[in-house]
C-alpha cells in the first residue's frame, strides 16, 4: 500500500512539473534501489551451496580500515557476518568482535575480504575480476591454506547457485555491469572521486607482495658533502592477515655489520620494533616514545622504517600536482589519535601519490611545531610484478641539519618464498638468511 501510494504521489507531481519530479523523486529512487540491490547481492554472493544455512558461509565480511569511507559512513556494515550471527549487536562493537573471533571465522571457512567494499565486490564479480577478489581475500587462522589460484577456484565454487550449475557474469552479466556503472557515473549530482583514505588503501593493495628481498647501498651525506657508505639487506614478508614483517640488516662496514632492525606490523597500527646490536649481543625493544628518534645515525627515524599505518592517520586530499611530468594526488596525513600524536615526531606529512600507478614519489615531514623538517623522494621507478612498482633510489633530506641519506637498490627478488623464521627475534640475531 505504501509503495502504491508513493507512486501515485509521484504521478500527480509529474503532471504538475515533470522535469522536477524526475530529478527529485524518480532518479534518486531508481539509483538508490539499484545500488542497494547490487550491495545486498554482493553481501550474499558467496553462499556455500553445500551448507547454505551456515551463517558464516551465507554472507561475507569486508574488513575495512578505520579511515575507510564505506564502513565509517555505513555503521560498520562491512562486518556483515556478525549481522547474521547477532543482529542486535551494536555497530561500534563489530570490529572488535571480528578480531576476537578470527579463528572461528577461519574454522568455518568464511569469506573475508580486506580493503574492498560491497559495490566493488559486485562489480568485480560482474566483470569476472577474480584476481581483484583474490588480492583482497584474507587468509584466516584455522582456514585451509590456499594459494592465489586456489583462492580464485574457491570463490568460483562459492558463487555457484544453490542447486544450480551456472556461474554469474558471462556476456550478459558484463553488459549489465557496464550499463549499470555508466548510468550511475553519468547520473547528475553523483560524485565518484576517490577519497584520500581510499587512495591510500588502494595503494597498499596494489603494491603488496608475498615476500621481498632487497640488497641496497646506503650513502650518508654530511652537510659539507662528505660521504659514508654502508651496505644492507632488507627482507619483507606479508602474512595471511596482509600485515608486514620487515627485517633490515647491515652487511658493511665492520662497525655496523649484522646490526638489525625487526618490525612487526600490528592490526591496530601499534607496530613492534626490535633493534639488535652485535656488540652487546642483545635485542632491545624500541619503545613507542622512541620511534621518532633517528635510526643508526641516518636521516630516517624508526617510525619511517614502519609500513604506512592507515589506521593511525587521517587523510585529506589537497589537490593535484605534477612531479617529474607525472600527475599526482597531493594528500595530507595527520595522526588520528592522541597517542599517535604524542609518539610521532611529525605533526603532519604531505604525500604525492602518482595517479597512474598509485605509488608515493614524494613525502614532506613537518615537525611537532608544524615546521617542514624533512623531504623524502623515491626515484627511478620500475614495475617489478603486475601492479607492483618499486623505486630504485630513495632519498631522505633533513632540511635543518643539511644532511641526506640515499638508498640505491642493487638487487631485488620478489615472491621467492622467504622463511618466516627469518623475520623473528631469533632470526634478527643471526647473520644470514
Q: Which domains are delineated in the chain? A: 2-192 (no CATH), 211-429 (2.50.20.10)
Question: What one-character-per-residue DSSP string does 82-115 give?
Answer: HHHH-TTS-GGGHHHHHHHTHHHHHHTT-EEEES
Residue 189, pLDDT score: 38
Residues 6+ apart with CB under 8 A from 117: 62, 64, 68, 70, 78
Of 25-34, 163-172, 337-346, least confident by mean pLDDT is 163-172
Judge contact between 238 and 244, C-beta under 8 A.
yes
Distance CA 185, CA 163 (A): 35
Helix and strand totals (H; E) in the chain:
14, 15
Distance CA 133, CA 57 (A): 17
pLDDT in tens, 216-243: 999 999 999 999 999 999 999 999 888 9
300 pLDDT higher than 80: yes
Classify strands 260-264 and 60-63 as parallel, antiparallel or unpaired.
unpaired
Lookup: cell for 184: 550511475
pLDDT in tens, 243-295: 999 999 999 999 999 999 999 999 888 899 999 999 999 999 999 889 999 99
pLDDT in tens, 40-81: 888 888 888 777 777 787 776 665 443 456 676 787 888 888
DSSP three-state, residue 416: coil
Segment 109-113 shows an average pLDDT of 90
CA-derived radius of gyration, the chain: 25
Question: What one-character-per-residue DSSP string does 296-324 give?
Answer: TTSS-BGGGGSPP-GGGEEEEEEEEEEET
Residue 392, pLDDT score: 97
Residue 171, pLDDT score: 54
pLDDT in tens, 176-201: 555 555 554 444 433 345 688 889 98
DSSP three-state, residue 218: strand
Distance CA 115, CA 133 (A): 10
Residues 6+ apart with CB under 8 A from 299: 374, 396, 397, 398, 401, 403, 404, 405
pLDDT in tens, 10-40: 888 888 888 888 888 889 988 888 888 888 8
Query: In 10 A of CB 218, how many CB atoms?
Result: 20
Residue 432, pLDDT score: 60
pLDDT band at residue 321 using 50, 70 and 90 as cut-offs: very high
Highest mean pLDDT among 9-18, 20-29, 150-159, 298-307: 298-307
Q: Which of 246, 296, 290 is nearest to 266 (CA)?
A: 246
Residue 243's φ and ψ, nearest 5 degrees, are -100, 145
pLDDT band at residue 5 using 50, 70 and 90 as cut-offs: confident
Residue 180, pLDDT score: 52
Q: Above pLDDT 70, what percent of the chain?
A: 89
Classify strands 326-335 and 348-354 as parallel, antiparallel or unpaired.
antiparallel
Distance CA 207, CA 387 (A): 6
Segment 318-327 shows an average pLDDT of 95
**Cα angle vertex 345, ends 344, 350, to 5°?**
90
Q: Which of 248, 216, 249 is nearest to 410 (CA)?
A: 216
pLDDT band at residue 1 using 50, 70 and 90 as cut-offs: low
Residue 65, pLDDT score: 43
Mean pLDDT of the chain: 86
pLDDT in tens, 126-149: 998 998 899 888 898 888 999 888
Residue 405, pLDDT score: 98
Query: In 10 A of CB 135, how many CB atoms?
Result: 20
Amino acid at each position: 500500500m505504501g509503495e502504491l501510494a508513493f507512486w501515485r504521489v509521484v504521478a500527480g507531481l509529474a503532471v504538475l512539473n515533470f522535469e522536477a519530479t524526475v530529478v527529485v523523486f524518480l532518479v534518486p529512487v531508481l539509483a538508490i534501489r539499484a545500488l542497494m540491490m547490487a550491495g545486498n547481492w554482493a553481501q550474499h554472493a558467496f553462499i556455500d551451496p553445500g551448507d547454505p544455512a551456515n551463517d558464516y558461509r551465507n554472507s561475507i565480511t569486508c574488513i575495512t580500515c578505520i579511515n575507510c569511507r564505506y564502513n565509517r559512513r555505513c555503521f560498520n556494515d562491512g562486518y556483515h557476518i556478525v549481522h547474521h550471527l547477532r543482529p542486535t549487536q551494536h555497530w561500534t562493537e563489530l570490529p572488535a568482535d571480528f578480531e576476537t573471533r578470527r579463528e572461528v571465522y577461519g574454522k568455518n571457512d568464511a569469506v573475508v575480504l580486506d580493503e574492498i567494499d560491497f559495490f566493488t565486490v559486485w562489480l568485480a564479480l560482474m566483470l569476472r575480476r577474480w584476481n581483484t577478489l583474490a588480492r583482497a581475500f584474507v587468509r584466516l587462522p584455522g582456514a585451509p591454506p590456499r594459494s592465489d589460484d586456489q583462492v580464485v577456484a574457491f570463490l568460483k565454487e562459492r558463487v555457484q547457485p544453490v542447486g544450480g550449475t551456472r556461474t554469474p557474469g558471462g556476456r550478459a552479466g558484463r553488459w549489465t555491469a557496464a550499463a549499470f556503472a555508466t548510468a550511475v557515473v553519468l547520473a547528475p549530482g553523483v560524485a565518484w572521486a576517490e577519497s584520500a583514505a581510499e587512495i591510500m588503501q588502494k595503494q597498499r593493495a596494489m603494491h603488496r607482495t608475498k615476500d621481498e628481498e632487497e640488497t641496497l647501498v646506503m650513502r650518508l651525506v654530511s652537510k659539507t658533502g662528505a660521504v659514508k657508505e654502508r651496505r644492507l639487506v632488507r627482507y619483507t614478508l606479508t602474512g595471511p592477515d596482509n600485515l608486514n614483517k620487515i627485517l633490515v640488516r647491515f652487511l658493511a662496514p665492520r662497525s655496523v655489520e649484522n646490526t638489525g632492525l625487526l618490525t612487526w606490523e600490528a592490526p591496530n597500527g601499534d607496530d613492534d620494533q626490535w633493534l639488535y646490536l652485535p656488540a652487546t649481543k642483545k635485542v632491545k625493544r624500541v619503545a613507542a616514545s622512541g620511534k621518532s628518534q633517528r635510526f643508526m645515525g641516518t636521516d630516517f627515524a624508526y617510525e619511517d622504517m614502519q609500513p604506512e599505518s592507515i589506521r593511525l592517520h587521517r587523510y585529506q586530499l589537497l589537490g593535484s600536482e605534477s612531479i617529474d611530468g607525472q600527475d599526482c594526488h597531493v594528500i595530507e596525513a595527520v595522526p588520528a589519535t592522541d597517542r599517535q600524536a604524542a609518539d610521532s615526531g611529525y605533526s603532519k606529512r604531505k604525500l604525492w601519490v602518482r595517479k597512474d600507478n598509485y605509488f608515493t614519489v614524494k613525502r614532506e615531514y613537518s615537525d611537532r611545531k608544524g615546521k617542514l623538517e624533512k623531504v623524502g623522494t623515491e626515484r627511478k621507478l620500475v614495475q617489478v610484478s603486475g601492479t607492483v612498482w618499486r623505486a630504485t633510489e630513495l632519498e631522505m633530506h633533513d632540511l635543518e641539519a643539511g644532511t641526506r641519506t640515499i638508498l640505491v637498490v642493487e638487487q631485488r627478488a620478489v615472491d621467492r618464498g622467504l622463511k618466516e623464521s627469518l623475520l623473528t627475534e631469533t632470526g634478527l640475531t643471526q647473520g644470514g638468511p
